[in-house]
Amino acid sequence: MNIILNKIIKIHQKYLLICFFLPYYGKMEIYDVEQEDKELKRVGLELMFLTPEKYSHKDGISAVELSKLLDMPIETVKRKLKILFDKGIIRVRGINPKLWKFDEFNFQRMDEDDDVFRLLCSFDDVDFDRYFTY
C-alpha cells in the first residue's frame, strides 16, 4: 500500500503545477520565456511606447493603424487588444473606429505576479531602437 501511495504522491507532485496553471487566452499562466506570447508582447510594448506622432488621432491608435505599424494581421491585433483591455492595461475610445491607448495608471497598479505584467516588463529581447530615437 505504501508503494502505491508513494507513486501517487510523486505523480501528484509532478503534475500538480500543470493542473493549476492552465492556459489563459492561449498562453501559460506561469511566466516562461519559451512559452511567452510574442504577439501580445509586441502589441503591448508598441502601445506602451507609442507617441502621438505615430498615430493620426489624439485619443489613440486604431487597430488598423496598429496592424500596419506592427505588420501583423488585423484579427491577431484585435485579439491581443482584447486581452490587454480585459486586463485593464489599455483604454478604448469611440465606436467606429475604436481608438486604443495605453493606461499607465492601471499598468502601474497591476499585480507584479500577473503574467501579462511580467510579459510586458521582460525586456531581454526588446529592441529599444524601435521605440526611441537617440
> In which residue are the cell numbers 501559460 written?
28
Supply the pLDDT for residue 22. Answer: 35
Supply the pLDDT for residue 110. Answer: 92
Supply the pLDDT for residue 128. Answer: 79
Structural domains of the chain in order of their starting residue, each with its CATH number: 37-130 (1.10.10.10)
State how beta strands 61-62 and 90-93 pair.
Answer: unpaired
Supply the pLDDT for residue 33. Answer: 44
The answer to whether the predicted template modeling score (pTM) of the entire model surpasses 0.75 is no
Mean pLDDT per 10-residue interval, the chain, length 134 residues: 55 42 39 66 91 82 92 94 93 89 91 90 82 69
